[in-house]
Amino acid sequence: MDYTRRRFLHTSLSALAGAAATGLWPMPGLAATEQRVELVAQESRINLGRGPDFTAYAFNGQTPGPVIRVREGQRLNISLKNRLLRPTTIHWHGLPVPNSMDGVPDVTQAAVPPGESFSYRFRARPAGTYFYHSHFGYQLDQGLYGALIVEPTRPVGGWDREEVLLLADWVVADGGGTATVPRRSPMGGMMGRGMMGRGMMGRGMMGRGMRRGTLPPDGPLTEPYYQGYAVNGHLYPSGPPIRVKKGDKVRLRLINASSSTTYDLCLAGHRLTVLALDGQDVTPKTFDVVRLAMGERVDVEFVADNPGAWLLQAHDTGLGESGLAVAVVYQGRQNSPPKGPRFHPGLSLATYWDLAAARPKAHPAGNPQRWYRQVLSGGMHSPYWSINGRLYPDSERLSAAPGEKVRLSYFNRSMIAHPMHLHGHFFRVVNYALPPERWLVKDTAIVEPMRRLDVEFVADNPGNWFHHCHNLYHMEAGMANLVTYTRA
Ligand code: C2O
Ligand code: CU
């Protein structure tokens, strides 16, 4: 057996082993054929490792859904079976799939009715860390999401361990994340450690869809008061720790599947080297803290050179400690209580301005041929969030000619950050300190309160593309529009 053949077999066997672990069985026809996956959307009883059982929406009975892992260029054939009582769809967040496969109800397809199925077929490329989620109503917050990992054709790296960590905000009540609960916690404080205590977890069993305060009866929901923040469906300390040996090089694929929470993450006793943002390689650089808004992914690596038991923990932006954590435990240190990071102003935070794209060639930018101003506003006692003062579906359409470079200038005129996401494309984040070929390649970018941010994309994937804030509650309250163009 020649070397390539042997390596090929080895790869496919480990792919099968991985599939067994997640409950997915790709067809044994190997890389050249389609990988088939079945995702059944259904109501399921969920437990996050502590707190009560509750009913949420799940894929294949679990939330997050199974990890889908493919090789770059491989065809995926994912059959979605809808066993919910509501319509649903799946969106492949970050992957530039053909428009008809993009999963936006009423824009790229009719939503899949209860009892029916839909097959999503596309080629998975480029390599990177992505996720999939329902794009119907509040279903993202109710639990319908999972990781989608596209491996490079030629393996790179030399990591001793790789972990996919999906971060999610939860309301631990029937109805999942969208159920509303009283804003005041019995512990008094709004947030902080007390909020994560057991006393809180059993409360808040109010009906789904209840609206708070003085909102119009048919108006949008506002974000619920989240009671817990889970890593791969576990509230700390219930989840399995990341086990390492001294000297290991560990890669973490962090995915923020939360509906309305941004995380600043720090690993006690270690620093994190950023490898990729939104799945696209950057020139590696090391920081103390990495920030992930809703819809963003960050790949980091660390070297296990400080034996002990530690926490990778989030400092919830603007809200104090969130309680999101996962333990990193060295061999032989299973019995030590994990130490959390201490957040202090001296820590270095990975911002967009500290990083540069590693692959200069793709996605040309600079000298845009079309330029759109996008004013983001809302809040101030209104449940509505708008772009240029208009609410989706009555918002404007952004058009382009095929092949054009299009610039979007976001002006955030509100007091809250908006992670803006464009479907079907990568964009470059304009950074005048760098030449355009080093501008970050992303699909979701945070526009900070009262700040401006510019992005640029090439109109190279014709169709009607949804463009919106990835805060689910802002999106559902109108902060969305369409980018539309046809083939030349
Ligand atoms: Cu994560 Cu419109 O999507
Ligand atoms: Cu927003």
pLDDT in tens, 99-151: 999 999 999 999 999 999 999 999 999 999 999 999 999 999 999 999 999 99
pLDDT digits (tens, 9 = 90+) for 249-281: 999 999 999 999 999 999 999 999 999 999 999
Note the ligand closest to the C-alpha atom of 104: 1
Q: Indicate if the pLDDT at residue 158 is higher than 90.
A: no
Q: Compute the distance between CA of residue 17 and CA of residue 22 in angstroms, rounded to an integer.
A: 9
For 443-466, letters b (16+ CB in 10 Å) and e give bbbbbeeeeebbbbbbbbbbbbbb
Task: Output the ligand 1 site: residues, CB below 6 A.
Answer: 91, 93, 133, 135, 295, 421, 423, 466, 468, 470
What atom in ligand 1 is closest to the CA of residue 94?
Answer: 1
Predicted confidence at residue 185, as pLDDT, reads: 38
Residue 468 Cα: closest atom of ligand 1: 2
CA of 260 to the centre of ligand 2 (A): 9
**H-helix segments, 164-248:** 198-201
- Is residue 387 within 8 Å of residue 471, measured between CB atoms? no
Model confidence at 155, in pLDDT bands (50, 70, 90)? confident
Mean pLDDT (whole number) for 207-218:
45
Residue nearest to atom 1 of ligand 1 (CA): 93
Q: Rounded mean pLDDT of 23-34?
A: 54
Query: Which pLDDT score, from 0 to 100, does residue 398 have?
Result: 98
pLDDT at residue number 319: 53
Average pLDDT over the chain reads 87
Check residue 198 and give its pLDDT: 27
SS3 content of the chain, % helix, strand, coil (to 5): 10, 40, 50
**pLDDT single digits (tens) 305-356:** 999 999 999 986 555 445 899 999 999 999 999 999 999 999 999 999 999 9
Distance, CA 244 to ligand 1 centroid (Å)?
A: 33
DSSP-assigned beta bridge partners for residue 78? 37, 120
- Domains and their CATH numbers in the chain: 20-155 (2.60.40.420), 370-485 (2.60.40.420)
Among the bound ligands, name the one nearest to the CA of residue 294.
1
Q: Is pLDDT above 50 for 15?
A: no
User: Per residue in 194-212, is it b (16+ CB within 10 Å) or e — as a string?
Assistant: ebbeeebbebbebeeeeeb
